[in-house]
Amino acid sequence: MDRETIKRLAAENGTPLLIMDHGQIRKNYQEFRERLPRVQIYYAIKANSEPEIIKTLLKLGASFDVASLSEFNLIFDLVKHLEPAGLQNFIWNNIIYANPVKKPDSLHVLNLYKPLLTYDSIEEMRKIRIHSPDAGLLLRIKISDEGSVVKLSNKFGIDPEQAVDLIEKTIREGLTVEGISFHAGSQCNKPRNFVKALRTVSEIFKEVASKGYAIGETVTKGYPIKIVDIGGGFPVKYSGDEQSFGGLADIINKEIDRLFSKDEVLLLAEPGRFLVANAGTEVASVILAKRSTDIPSYHIDDGVYHTFSALVYDHIPIKVRSIKDGEPRECRLFGPTCDGLDTLSENTYIHNTGKIFLPELDEGDLVYAENMGAYTTASSTNFNGMPPAKVVHINL
């Protein structure tokens, strides 16, 4: 985003500010569709749940991955005007509740709409049987997330060796198993993780078929076992050292076409970061410039308890830039709260140096960071009574 646009929007809206460019979101969506043509896109709302983003993606024909009843309702509120049959079909075809652990009261409400749910244990399956018996289920398996920035296998996924047994038990309990899901970890930089996972799913499908549950054929309540959910984790260019999405997509496509018939298997994915990360630019103002210290120190009105929460929770390499020109020199950069943790310089993993270089700044000067559309405002807080950044949407 050009500096004049940043300055204009900051002047109009104040700071801290997150600018979301919907033109870029549309480009990202189209790229994903073109590079993975067999895969249905379910946007992972947790990456950025701004209603304007959901509306843009809904117009493009996206489906949605939700992780809570609140996220489900963000979609429901946009489609509840549909006539009953159309509403039910939309929920069946366009929403997946991809959190493998769900509150019983949420399940009870969701059962009204017979949604698609993930699970990864016999305990969760039995909870679903009680509270949401009409749902369709995807069994989430544990796969390698080596090389991914944020790990998930430590918390979710059944061991693949136990998958067929649990599928059989689930069907015997009278529930509907529609397929298998996995997640390679957020910001995955090893295509091999996807390759091994897809091969594992193929082997599980073969074993399930050998038990009499033929893939692509109806087994329970009128629904076939045919869905392969390849999760999220598709990499975004932050530092430039990441795995390219194009290269990853080529590898995934080759493996999908080799392993799964178009007539028998439906593929879906849950991209979040990929669709919104590079559409967001964060803007902050200097509220105190200290040059009496050995290294200049700048306090800004956004920090790790707000938009820069991505430094703590998402471990992404954020690069802070200045609107003002000048000779860069090393400095310290602090957020606005009274906590010593609220330090951007030591928490900013730029080439693993933990150092920031900016021109000499004064109170009121603007700094900004690109690639801030995912997992930033989503994990902001009101700590110290300081609200999250205002979000402004452009190119709607």
Confidence of residue 242 (pLDDT cuts 50, 70, 90): confident
* C-alpha–C-alpha distance, residues 10 and 19, integer Å: 9
Res. 212: pLDDT tops 80: no
CATH number of 3-16+280-394: 2.40.37.10
* pLDDT on residue 256: 95
Q: What is the pLDDT of residues 246-271, one digit of tens each?
A: 999 999 999 999 999 888 899 999 99
* pLDDT on residue 366: 98
Nearest of 205, 234, 210 to residue 138 by alpha carbon: 205
Give the residue with greater pLDDT, 148 vs 31. 31
Q: Mean pLDDT, to the nearest integer, of 355-362?
A: 92
| Homologous superfamily of domain range 23-276 | Alanine racemase (3.20.20.10)
**8 Å CB contact between 7 and 233:** no
Q: Mean pLDDT, to the nearest integer, of 351-370?
A: 86
* pLDDT on residue 317: 78
* pLDDT on residue 351: 39
Q: What is the pLDDT of residues 85-110, one digit of tens each?
A: 999 999 989 999 999 999 999 999 99
- Residue extent(s) of CATH 3.20.20.10 domains in the chain: 23-276
- Residue extent(s) of CATH 2.40.37.10 domains in the chain: 3-16+280-394
Q: What is the pLDDT of residues 176-196, one digit of tens each?
A: 899 999 988 777 677 888 899
